[in-house]
Amino acid sequence: MVGLDPADPIRGFRGRHPVTEQIGGDAARWDWENLGKNLTAKAVDYIERNSDDPFCLFFFPHHPHTFIRPHPDFHCTAKSGLRGDFIQELDWCVGEVLDALEREGIAEDTLVMFTSDNGPTIIELWAAELKAHDMTGGLRDEKGTVYEGGVRIPMVVRWPGVVSRGSES
């Protein structure tokens, strides 16, 4: 783990929320509200420092996990509540990365792939049901299952000159 101090190891978890209730590892923690902006700044910096050579940037924003607050700049910016605010912040993060590619003059030569790692959790599904929102688009089950609701995810590709705008497959 980056930043983990051997003198302060993560010894275990207590409670129901291991991310927020871990024992030890204080040096490796981060400020959740600023995480999106901080990760985006690091991604943009990487692009700026490496734009003269081929590179692969694997950018993992933490959005849109509902039990973590988005940056205050995005509070109450969406009509759909906290999850919507997170999506607003995610849109900003992706926009900053794409803008950096444009500024560096490499956007036309860069393959950008936007995808997810899994479907919603059961808790997210329950919360969405209260608002009559179908997070899986009618697919069965959720993250952690082998059913389509857990493993079927969207992917958007931007590759000028190779993938036609608006195409589907």
Q: Are residues 37 and 111 located together in one domain of the fold?
A: yes
Q: Is residue 62 part of a domain?
A: yes
Cα–Cα distance between 35 and 22 in angstroms, integer? 18
Please tell me the predicted confidence (pLDDT) of residue 1: 40
3-state SS, 138-163, equals CCCCCCCCCCHHHHCCCEEEECCCCC
pTM: 0.77
Residue 7 has pLDDT above 80, yes or no: no
Q: Are residues 16 and 43 located together in one domain of the fold?
A: no
Range of the domain at 54: 33-116+154-158
Which residue, 86, 111, 99, is CA-closest to 44? 99
DSSP 8-state assignment for residue 169? -
Cα–Cα distance between 47 and 53 in angstroms, integer? 10
Q: Are residues 20 and 55 located together in one domain of the fold?
A: no
Q: Is residue 73 part of a domain?
A: yes
Q: Are residues 71 and 38 located together in one domain of the fold?
A: yes
Instruction: Give the tens place of pLDDT for each residue, 72-109.
Output: 999 999 887 887 888 899 999 999 999 999 999 999 99
Q: Are residues 26 and 38 located together in one domain of the fold?
A: no
Instruction: Give the tens place of pLDDT for each residue, 11-70.
Output: 655 555 555 555 556 666 667 788 889 999 999 999 999 999 999 999 988 887 656 778
Cα–Cα distance between 1 and 8 in angstroms, integer? 12
